Structure 1
Amino acid sequence: MTVKKNLEVCFSPALLHLYDTKGKVVVIIDIFRATSTITAALANGAEKVVPVASVEECIALGASTPNSITAGERNGQVAPGLQYGNSPLEYPEEFISGKILNLTTTNGTRLLHQVEDADTIIIGSFLNLSAVCDFLIAQDKDVLLGCASWKDRPNMEDNLFAGAVVRKVQSYFDIKCDSAMIAGSMYDDALRRPDLLSYLKVGSHYERLANFGLLKDLEYCTQVDIHPVVPILKNNALVLEKVTTI
């Protein structure tokens, strides 16, 4: 009899130390907006996305790397010294194709740098939900869904995406993680609403970004399966490679 692999959900980087990531596939989740931006940029032809921890490192990397741009945010707004922000709408094909995107964000890139010893690190968003799920099923490895949260405080949108993954892959994995059960219940509730964004409107991060005039970003980030790609971390950069799916 085939033994199912385990799937767990970590709601915050502050809880990451409670999970063993060695040998696992780790999915980095930052729906509003880092992982959505990474997915969109690569789907639209970016050569690679280089996730960096600090604004200073991002600026230096941009200055020393030909055909690259610097981008990112702090507290939801473009960080001083960077050329572009953390909006997926800033990176259409006609702009980003063939370029290197050096990206630093408040939460998502920070979590990515915290993960150690994983077998594989990939990027998850609603934009590539089914591609991520197919990839996880095909790998036949234990999985950790890592939510970037907001400054270590769990948020609705990342947990909701984790719940969507749980529901779509639950028949393939052994899931005995309470966080996964909570996330799955959130997704069940969200499916009763007109759309995912209407479910998330009570969240603090929705309110924060909407107040910055970024409603179009939020609408874009909650579209499902418009980019059937799987960004994967290779040599400290996120790229699109031919990956094994079901």
Structure 2
Amino acid sequence: MNIDVIFSANEVTKEKVVGKIVVVIDVLRATSVMLTAMKNGAKEIRPFKEIDQLTSYTKDLKGILKCGERNGTKIDGFDLGNSPLEYQPEVVCGKIICMTTSNGTNALVNSSYGKKILIGSYLNLDILCKKIDEINEDLVIVCAGTNGEFSLDDSLCAGEIIKRVKYKTLSDSARSMYMIASTPGTLKDKLKETKHYNFLKNLGEVRDLEVCFSINSKNIILEYRDGIIF
């Protein structure tokens, strides 16, 4: 299994993912929200890159939740933002979630040419890595990043995945993330000085940070296919 890492949604091209297994990561917070929502009974999630695409699609639909954020805050007129704490069973169970976020949904849609696209975060590390080992095909880990730039919270998660899978030949980018993930220290120790961590902390989202760093708290596999996460 050859493993490569892409460091932001903007770097994803058809040529980099076509014919490969893809894992998309947006730890803070889109993929963590997706795993939480589906674990809590949501029917499916439909990601969109742009707000107007989502609002046009949902204009005449009933029984859906419009969800997402820009600059870390809930979009005006939407039902939910991008905090996993909002996606409680009594809110999302049985609902179709239509979501757009600053980085994560872009990474997903840009990865659409992948052979199989899986959703990753710290919340489902071990079960995800078990699935990757079962498939045992060339893998690209797509980190959503932040506004087109490298983000350590996502890339460290990529390294944690690489540490756990058994059969691997690593690109230089994958090897660098493996080395960072292999250094001593907790997730909080490694990430507490990073830009995105402190951005959310300054927004008052400390509980979100705790939830998003809860390793293996959501023991599920999610796949993105034909515009739907299920």
TM bracket, shorter-chain basis: over 0.9
Alignment of 1:61-210 (within 5 A): 61-169=57-165, 171-175=166-170, 177-189=171-183, 192-193=184-185, 195-210=186-201
Deviation at 1:165, TM superposition (A): 0.4
Is contact 1:59-1:81 (8 Å) kept? no
* Residue correspondences, number: 230
Give the TM-score, by structure 1 length. 0.89
Counterpart in the other structure of 1:41? 37
Give secondary structure in 1 for the equivalent of 2:223. Answer: strand
Q: Which runs of 5+ in 2 are unaligned?
A: none
Q: Deviations over 1:39-68 (max 9, x none)?
A: 110011100011011112222333322211
Counterpart selection for 1:214 from 205, 208, 219: 205
- SS of the residue corresponding to residue 154 of structure 2 reads helix
- The one-character-per-residue Cα deviations of 1:209-242 (angstroms, maximum 9, x if unpaired) are 1111101001100000011111101331100xxx
Conserved 8 A contact 1:129-1:225: yes
**Displacement of 1:136:** 0.8
Counterpart of 1:238 in structure 2: which amino acid?
I
Given the two structures, how large is their TM-score scaled by the length of structure 2? 0.95
| Equivalent position SS for 2:16 | coil
Deviations 1:104-126 (A, max 9, x none): 00000011111242111110011
From 5, 15, 34, the equivalent of 1:9 is 5
Deviation at 1:200, TM superposition (A): 0.7
Q: SS of the residue aligned with 1:141?
A: coil
- d(CA) in 1 for partners of 2:148, 2:14: 14
Question: CA deviation digits over 1:58-116, x for unaligned, max 9?
Answer: 22333322211101001111122322101111111122110111110000001111124
Secondary structure in 2 matching 1:121: strand
Q: 3-state DSSP class of the match of 1:64?
A: coil
Amino acid in structure 1 at the alignment position of 2:217: I
Q: Which residue of 2 aligns with 1:22?
A: 18
For 1:242, the equivalent position in structure 2 comes to none
Output the CA distance in 2 between the equivalents of 1:19 and 1:32: 27
- How far apart, CA to CA, are the structure 1 residues paired with 2:12 and 2:106? 12
Q: Return structure 1 stretches of 4+ with deviation > 4 angstroms.
A: none
CA distance in 2, matches of 1:18, 1:188: 30
CA distance in 1, matches of 2:101, 2:224: 17
Pair 1:122–1:18, CA change in 2 (3 A): closer
Q: How many percent identity over aligned positions?
A: 32
- Give unmatched runs, 5+ long, in structure 1: 240-246
Equivalent position amino acid for 1:117 in 2: Y
Answer whether contact 1:59 1:82 (CA < 8 A) is retained: no
* In 2, Cα distance between equivalents of 1:181 and 1:55: 36
Counterpart CA distance in 2 for 1:200 and 1:161 is 11
Question: 1:226 — aligned with what?
Answer: 217
